[in-house]
Amino acid sequence: MDPETLVRTALRDAGYGPDAIGSALPRIMRILQAEDVRIAMGRSLSRKEREHVRLQLELGLHVSEIVAALKR
């Protein structure tokens, strides 16, 4: 099961309705993707790097693209 389906199912099982899930799921997925970036980098990110990652995720970039840019 992919992470988005897992989170969606967990929220539904916890009693959240479709509107709450629809509004919360994108934010939750960006948080998980940001953590994927941190893990891929193998270290904690600076405040400036975290802001960069947040903006890149909001623009729709993938984790691998963000990691490649940070490693340059």
Residue-wise pLDDT tens digits, 35-59: 999 999 999 999 999 999 999 999 9
- Residues 43, 46, 50: CA angle, nearest 5 degrees: 95
Is pLDDT at 13 greater than 90 in this prediction?
yes
Q: Where are the domains of the chain?
A: 3-71
Looking at residue 59, its pLDDT comes to 93
